[in-house]
Amino acid sequence: MNQTQLETITGTPPVIRPRRLRRTQALRRMVRETSLSPNDFIYPLFIRHGHDIQQPIRSMPGQFQWSIDRVVGEVRAAYQLGIPAVILFGIPDVKDACGSENYEPNGIIPSAIRAIKDAVPEMMVISDMCFCEYTDHGHCGIINQPGDAYYQPHLPEGYLLNDPTLELLARASIVHAEAGADIIAPSGMMDGMVGAIRAGLDDAGFDHVVIMSYAAKYASGFYGPFRDAAESPPQFGDRSEYQMDPANRREALKEVALDVAEGADMLMVKPALPYLDILSAVRQSYNLPVAAYQVSGEYAMLHAAAANGWIDLRRCALETLTSIKRAGADLILTYFAKEAAQWIPE
């Protein structure tokens, strides 16, 4: 006699048994709601001047600063693993007040883009568009300083000037597009950055270039190791005057709405794991592709715990990536990209 018959007779409700669908590996595969693919991953790379350099980044095991001649092979390897895109961060030779190497046609990133597109034309090359790696003060744009061409006496010293920064962002985006960038990813949280870059690109004939906006980027402690990797810590203050307060959720939706209105093609939430609620809200409110950035500190944290023997790196890395996708990400920027592409279970 089965339970339904039993219920009919006795009036006792059947025990609901979700475990039935978890009994075997094949059954679990049949009912799995989220799966990872190398197509989901965007691989971040740090590039510096020089030759034959693959310099380990202390706080990010397995990640390196690459010279252009060496990064090309890494990009090819990533493409062969099925990863469709890389995002590039540059370490310039010279830093100055306005970050001029960012818009120098022979600067580190335009040169790297040309070399990569030459060697692996199919790989989508994303250029992280920000000034913090290029400025001597380490902030993401032009700072109000007496004596500077942009100095505005009515504003406080050290204030990050929004609109002059927009001009330079548009200028640098055009230079990177000319070098062959497929996607520009503005990451500085300036007001109006997407609109300014879109207008600049369109005027210069690059209406095919995609904008992936770091739409909701929080002022996060989890960027710590990145500042080692890109050698870009702010020399004074922090970034909370332009990046978002971790306590705010509604404000993220406002930021996203603005970027959508300004013409963003893809959206990003950053960091990823501590902000899954934001990711989920953005996913539910918009139909554009949504990316999440599993940042340097998220990567370092998993590695540090694994190095102590406290967690299993592969299992936990895949679990975080699956969670990020389950929360709504179509794409994940992750330092695990190459390893995860090889770890993904059948």
Q: What's the closest the beta carbon of residue 314 comes to ligand PBG, in angstroms?
A: 20
95 close to 134: Cβ distance less than 8 angstroms: yes
DSSP string, 171-222: HHHHHHHHHT-SEEEE-S--TTHHHHHHHHHHHTT-TT-EEEEEEEEB--GG
Neighbours of 50 (CB within 10 A): 14
Q: Is 331 helix (H, G, I), strand (E, B) or coil?
A: strand
User: Total residues at the site for ligand PBG (CB under 6 A)?
Assistant: 11
Q: Determine the Cα–Cα distance for residues 148 and 67; give it in Å rounded to an integer.
A: 33
Q: Which of 48, 239, 303, 325 binds ligand PBG (CB under 6 A)?
A: 239
CA angle at 212 for the pair 68 and 106, rounded to the nearest 5°: 30
Closest by alpha carbon to 298, among 327, 328, 323?
A: 323
Query: Which residues on adjacent β-strands are paired with residue 86?
Result: 43, 125
Q: What's the closest the beta carbon of residue 187 comes to ligand PBG, in angstroms?
A: 4
Query: Which residues on adjacent β-strands are paired with residue 197?
Result: none
Output DSSP code: residue 173. Answer: H
Q: Which of 40, 128, 259, 262 binds ligand PBG (CB under 6 A)?
A: 128
Site string for ligand PBG, 72-111 (x = CB under 6 A): ----------------------------------------
Site for ligand PBG in 264-323 (CB under 6 A): 295-296
Site string for ligand PBG, 189-228 (x = CB under 6 A): ----------------------------------x--x--
Q: Which amino acid type is present at position 100?
A: S
One of 95, 117, 270, 338 is an active-site residue; which one? 270
Question: Binding of ligand PBG at residue 255 (CB under 6 A)?
Answer: no
Kindly tell me which of 226 and 286 has the beta carbon lying closer to ligand PBG: 226
Per the listing, tokens 């204030």 go with: 159
Kindly tell me which of 195 and 225 has the beta carbon lying closer to ligand PBG: 225
217 is an active site residue: yes
Site string for ligand PBG, 11-50 (x = CB under 6 A): ----------------------------------------
One of 217, 254, 325, 338 is an active-site residue; which one? 217
Closest by alpha carbon to 38, among 129, 123, 127?
A: 123
Supply the residues annotated as catalytic.
217, 270
Binding residues for ligand PBG, rule: CB under 6 A, are 128, 130, 132, 140, 187-188, 223, 226, 239, 295-296
